[in-house]
A and B are shown apart, each in its own frame.
Chain A
C-alpha cells in the first residue's frame, strides 16, 4: 500500500518560514492535499490539489509537489499557525485514501 512520510515535528520562530514535507513514491504524479488540525478540533482543509487554497485560507500557506516530495510552506509564521498538519493523497491502485502521519508545527 502507498505510504506518506512526514517529519513528526517542525519548529520555527515567528515571522520565519516553515516547510513541512510529505514523502511518497513518485508523489509528484499525484494530487496532494493538506489539512490543519488544532487540539480538540476537527481537521480543516488548507491546501488542495498541490497548491490551491480554499476561500478564507491565508496566502501565507502554499504547496508544491515534485518527484518524491510534496511540501507545505508557511510564510511569516504566526503563533496561531501552531497545529498538526497532515498531507493526503488518493491511491488509485488500491482505491484507498492515504494520510501522512502528521507533523506538529511548533512556533518558538
Chain B
C-alpha cells in the first residue's frame, strides 16, 4: 500500500526558512516523479513544485521560484522542499503527491506551514 507522510511543518516568522520532508513507502520511489501541492486556509489547491524520478528536471510555480528548492533522496525514499524567504502568503497545508502520467494518484495527509510574525 502506498504511503506518503509529510513532516517538518510549523510556525515560522516571515523571512525564515523551513524544510519539509515526505517519507514514501509501498512503491518503488525511484521510478516516480513527485511533487508538492499546497492549500492555503479555505482556498483551493495550488501546485508548488515537481521533480522527476532521477532529479534531472525540476519545475516550480511562479509564486515560489527562486525561493523554494525541491529535492529527493531515492536511497532514503524521501522527498524534500527547502523553503527560504518565507512570506505570510506561503501559509498553507503542504501535500506531497506521487505523479503518474499527468495526474497525482496518491497524496499524503499534509503538513501545515504557518508564516506569521
Contact = CB atoms under 8 A, between A and B. Distances in A.
Interface of A: 1, 31, 33, 35, 37, 41-45, 48-49, 54, 84, 86, 88-90, 95-102
Interface of B: 35, 37, 44-47, 50, 59, 61-62, 95, 101-110
B109 to A, nearest CB: 5
Q: What does DSSP make chain A's interface, helix, strand, loop or mixed? A: strand
Contact of A44 (B37, B44, B107): B107
Nearest to A37: B45
A48 B109 contact: no
Given A1-B62, A43-B107, A99-B45, A48 B101 contact: yes
Contacts of B109: 41-42
Given A43-B95, A95-B59, A96-B59, A49 B103 contact: yes
B59 A88 contact: no
B101 A49 contact: yes
